[in-house]
Amino acid sequence: MDSSITIQVANASHIHYAEEICYEMEAAAKIRGTGIAKRSPLYVIEKMQQGKAVIALDGDKFAGFCYIETWTHGEFVANSGLIVKESYRKHGLARLIKQRIFDLSRELYPNAKIFGITTGLAVMKINSELGYKPVTFSELTQDENFWKGCQSCVNYDVLSRTNRKHCLCTGMLYEPNQQSPLPEGGITPPLQMERGLGGEVSKKSKKKKSWKNWEIHLRWLRFKQFVLLKEKTVFSLFF
């Protein structure tokens, strides 16, 4: 990662990036073919003013962003709206932003459960490194306003016809009182392997096993997609 990139808690001095952030979020959602809970620049500005967002800058150029939302009266926290500008992708920037917003969430809401729902493999990987575990939707916030955010997703009919039990997204949850602490310095690729698998194994076999884990996970996601996108009658045979 280029050393000129800084990752910091956003504040009022960053509000002029809000338009660009929303534009990048919307453009990325269009490319992925999913809907997202649409964010307005005003909403993003509010998060910056509240100190509930992290911004990555390359000098004065925007590179990435993420913000915090709270649900069920602060019992749950979500790190939402992760975006890395295309020209900065695949260099580990999302991992650094997620680590920073995760640390900020822990500072601001030490007792909250941190969760996310995503179809993105990159986010699933990073979340696992941070100590999130895949869970059923029933273990996440039941706050209606959170789930209303899914209404603009192209797969919303799947979520509604399963009574909010299943969708293409995977729910992931970090529970503060059930974790072994992260080592000083935060997450690193070898740690990802350890946290994903547990136990003491050689680096080589860790890597092999880690990939095997992801292959299994990918196969499960493909199967889920196949089943959930079928017509209602076929779906009901499985769930």
Ligand X SMILES: CC(C)(COP(=O)(O)OP(=O)(O)OC[C@H]1O[C@@H](n2cnc3c(N)ncnc32)[C@H](O)[C@@H]1OP(=O)(O)O)[C@@H](O)C(=O)NCCC(=O)NCCS
Candidates 2-10, 82-90, 138-146, 160-168: pick the segment binding ligand X (CB under 6 A). 82-90
Measured from the CB atom, is 183 or 189 closer to ligand X?
189
Could you tell me which stretch among 38-46, 103-111, 122-130, 225-233 binds ligand X (CB under 6 A)? 122-130
Residue 63: helix, strand or coil by DSSP?
strand
CB of 10 within 8 A of CB of 47? yes
Q: For ligand X, which is the closer residue by CB, 15 or 191?
A: 191
Kindly write out the interface string for residues 177-216 of this chain, putting x where it contacts ligand X by CB under 6 A and - elsewhere.
------------x---------------------------
Which residues partner with 8 through β-bridges? 55
Q: Are 138 and 103 in contact (CB under 8 A)?
A: no
- Is 150 an interacting residue with respect to ligand X (CB under 6 A)? no
Tell me how far, at minimum, the Cβ of 180 lies from ligand X, in Å: 21
φ, ψ at 114 (rounded to 5°) = -105, 130
Instruction: Scan residues 19-78 and list those touching ligand X (CB under 6 A).
Output: 28, 32
8 Å CB contact between 133 and 124: no
**β 76-84/113-118 pair status:** parallel
Tokens of 214: 């992801």
- DSSP, collapsed to helix, strand or coil, labels residue 65 as strand
Interface residue with ligand X among 83, 112, 114, 172 (CB under 6 A) is 83
Q: What is the contact surface with ligand X in residues (CB under 6 A)? A: 28, 32, 82-84, 89-95, 118, 120-123, 125-126, 189
